[in-house]
């Protein structure tokens, strides 16, 4: 468009149409929708604002997305997108001004090439601590791979759009365009495989805490400012003082959580861990799909974050090898609704009513367990652990457990866990309406085959709705009347 000498306003309108069309073409996937919103706001600034402040525009894009879906704030993809974009709009203009001495035809080519390198390095530097926090690895080859990938991805996008429209004109034209498009995609795969196979392409490291991440960004900012100006500006000093105060006062006034409940992201398998001050460590693990998540996730997480302590273990799959491994490692008291496991360490279930049972007399005061006997009289149909925290209750219900709620009188509900099962929607909505929880967490159950990737597939109810399939691991802490929600990733370690 620049070569055609089109007026800026017309150029911006054309580019906005292309962005919207591309977003629709990809079925408005969340990542594409985010990028499209950012691109449109940037184009508006480029076309109609004389001196745009791109950091403020990025903040506006974030506000618009959070107004539609507030829980995107906890989405890893959103955090990575905004970090990368901020790194680019902060660093690249400064690098561009440093390269102003490169003039002429060949100097311009070199300048554009160096800008591309600066762009990919700025994005990688901004997202690097987040990659370490969420995925425990640093993709060092990404810095090099992004340089050819920028050109290949741009070429593939242009050819892809041309291929789509060429189908409207005739198959011969579409076939002609498909040749360079196929070659570009094939070359893209070759380039990605090459860089992925390089030594030290990915380095596994320990997960970084949020204070370390913020400190990394602060030092990166100060180093960049000092390099650019040979001194620290007043703004840099203000930023240092502000961040220092946040750290100091944050540590001084940060209350200690009375309890903590973690939901681990194990795909179709279900796991949560509860711990509290002077309280036993209680966990649940249901093995619905054969995989190595006990060795790779659950055991290392218990050893690293709970001092290898596990007092009670709930399960609906007591005969699985994974449960036997957990019992061998930690020797917890087992609570299962199968009704068939009478081995050592199993807590017996005590009859209380014709259809509802409870083993609360065998537990500490803050743990209550309710279940329902199956119609065939051979086992137990549903299990509902209820954890008393302060003046409220945490209810961890499977599909049948949601039905058990109808016959119970439970105090203020801080958190309610429900199953993924699509056909349990009416039961889930009825349970949510009855107990009116502060937070709803959806988890895998034995009837859920497909993993839900969108909030609308879980429930249309209002409130704070979470799921490991949407946010990864979730850590929920409580102190007095406040609840804190954080995304988390278990630290993977090799067992000796």
Number of domains in the chain: 3
More confident: 146 or 373: 146
Query: Hey, what are 280's tokens?
Result: 């036993």
The answer to the question of residue 421 being in a domain is yes
Whole-number Å distance between alpha carbons of 170 and 182: 18
Q: Is the pLDDT of residue 417 over 80?
A: yes
Q: Is the pLDDT of residue 251 over 50?
A: yes
The answer to the question of residue 1 being in a domain is no
The answer to the question of residue 493 being in a domain is no
278 and 196 both lie in a single domain: no
Residues near 243 by beta carbon (within 8 Å), at least 6 away in sequence: 214, 218
CATH assignment at residue 278: 3.60.15
270 and 287 both lie in a single domain: yes
pLDDT value of residue 187:
92
346 and 419 both lie in a single domain: yes
Model confidence pLDDT, tens digit, residues 213-239: 888 888 888 877 777 776 666 677 777
117 and 82 both lie in a single domain: yes
The answer to the question of residue 333 being in a domain is yes
Q: Is the pLDDT of residue 148 over 70?
A: yes
Across 119-123, 180-184, 407-411, the highest mean pLDDT is recorded for 180-184
220 and 146 both lie in a single domain: no
179 and 240 both lie in a single domain: no
Burial class, 203, CB count within 10 angstroms (exposed 0-12 / middle 13-18 / buried 19+): exposed
Q: Is the pLDDT of residue 190 over 70?
A: yes
The answer to the question of residue 2 being in a domain is no
Residues near 117 by beta carbon (within 8 Å), at least 6 away in sequence: 147
Q: Is the pLDDT of residue 431 over 50?
A: yes
Q: Indicate the range of 30-44, 277-291, 400-414 predicted with least confidence.
A: 400-414
14 and 44 both lie in a single domain: yes
Q: Indicate the range of 24-33, 162-171, 283-292 predicted with least confidence.
A: 24-33
Of the CA atoms within 13 Å of residue 406, those in its CB half-sphere come to 12
Q: Which of 447, 448, 437 is nearest to 476 (CA)?
A: 437
The answer to the question of residue 495 being in a domain is no
More confident: 203 or 119: 119
Q: Is the pLDDT of residue 342 over 50?
A: no
Of 202, 219, 242, the residue that ends a domain is 202
Mean pLDDT, range 46-62, rounded to an integer = 79
141 and 16 both lie in a single domain: yes
240 and 290 both lie in a single domain: no
pLDDT value of residue 369:
74
Contacts 24+ apart (CB under 8 A), 61-68: 61/34, 61/37, 64/37, 65/34, 65/37
Q: Is the pLDDT of residue 350 over 60?
A: no
143 and 36 both lie in a single domain: yes
Q: Is the pLDDT of residue 5 over 50?
A: yes
Q: Is the pLDDT of residue 385 over 90?
A: no
pLDDT value of residue 492:
38
Across 129-143, 287-301, 444-458, the highest mean pLDDT is recorded for 287-301
The answer to the question of residue 69 being in a domain is yes
The answer to the question of residue 83 being in a domain is yes
Helix%, strand%, coil% for the chain, nearest 5: 55, 20, 30
Of 186, 202, 218, the residue that ends a domain is 202
34 and 118 both lie in a single domain: yes
Q: Indicate the range of 24-28, 108-112, 294-298, 369-373 predicted with least confidence.
A: 369-373
CB 255, CB 231: distance < 8 Å: no
Rounded to whole angstroms, what are the CA distances from 219 to 140, 162, 493?
A: 20, 45, 29
Q: Which domain holds residue 235?
A: 209-254
341 and 396 both lie in a single domain: yes
CB 233, CB 225: distance < 8 Å: yes
């Amino acid at each position: 468009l620049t070569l055609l000498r089109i007026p800026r306003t017309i150029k911006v309108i054309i580019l906005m149409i292309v962005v919207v069309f591309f977003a629709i073409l990809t079925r408005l996937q969340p990542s594409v929708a985010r990028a499209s919103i950012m691109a449109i706001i940037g184009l508006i600034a480029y076309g109609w604002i004389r001196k745009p402040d791109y950091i403020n525009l990025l903040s506006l894009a974030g506000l618009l997305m959070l107004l539609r879906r507030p829980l995107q704030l906890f989405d890893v993809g959103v955090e990575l997108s905004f970090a990368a974009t901020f790194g680019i709009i902060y660093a690249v203009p400064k690098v561009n001004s440093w390269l102003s001495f490169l003039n002429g035809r060949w100097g311009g080519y070199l300048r554009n090439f160096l800008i591309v390198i600066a762009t990919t390095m700025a994005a990688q530097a901004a997202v690097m601590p987040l990659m370490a926090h969420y995925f425990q690895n640093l993709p060092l080859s990404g810095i090099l791979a992004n340089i050819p990938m920028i050109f290949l991805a741009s070429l593939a996008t242009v050819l892809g759009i041309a291929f789509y429209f060429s189908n409207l004109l005739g198959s011969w034209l579409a076939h002609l365009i498909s040749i360079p498009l196929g070659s570009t995609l094939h070359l893209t795969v070759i380039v990605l495989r090459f860089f992925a196979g390089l030594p030290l392409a990915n380095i596994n490291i320990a997960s970084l805490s949020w204070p370390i991440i913020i400190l990394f960004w602060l030092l990166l900012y100060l180093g960049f400012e000092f390099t650019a100006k040979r001194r620290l500006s007043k703004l840099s000093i203000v930023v240092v003082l502000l961040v220092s105060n946040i750290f100091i006062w944050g540590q001084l006034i940060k209350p200690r959580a009375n309890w903590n409940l973690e939901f681990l992201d194990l795909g179709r398998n279900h796991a949560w861990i509860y711990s509290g001050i002077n309280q036993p460590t209680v966990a649940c693990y249901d093995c619905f799909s054969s995989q190595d998540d006990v060795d790779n996730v659950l055991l290392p997480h218990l050893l690293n974050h709970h001092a290898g302590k596990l007092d009670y273990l709930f399960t609906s799959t007591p005969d699985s090898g994974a449960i036997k491994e957990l019992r061998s490692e930690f020797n917890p008291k087992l609570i299962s609704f199968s009704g068939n496991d009478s081995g050592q360490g199993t807590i017996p279930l005590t009859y209380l009513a014709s259809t509802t049972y409870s083993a609360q007399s065998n537990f500490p005061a803050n743990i209550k367990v309710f279940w329902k006997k199956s119609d065939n009289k051979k086992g137990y149909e549903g299990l509902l652990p209820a954890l008393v925290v302060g003046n409220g209750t945490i209810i961890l219900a499977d599909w049948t457990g949601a039905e058990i709620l109808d016959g119970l009188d439970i105090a203020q509900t801080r958190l309610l866990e429900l199953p993924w099962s699509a056909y349990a929607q009416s039961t889930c909505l009825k349970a949510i309406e009855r107990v009116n929880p502060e937070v709803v967490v959806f988890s895998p159950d034995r009837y859920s085959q497909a993993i839900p990737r969108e909030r609308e597939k879980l429930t249309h109810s209002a409130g704070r709705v979470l799921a490991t399939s949407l946010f990864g691991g979730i850590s929920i802490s409580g102190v007095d009347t406040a609840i804190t929600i954080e995304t988390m990733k278990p630290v993977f370690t090799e067992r000796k």
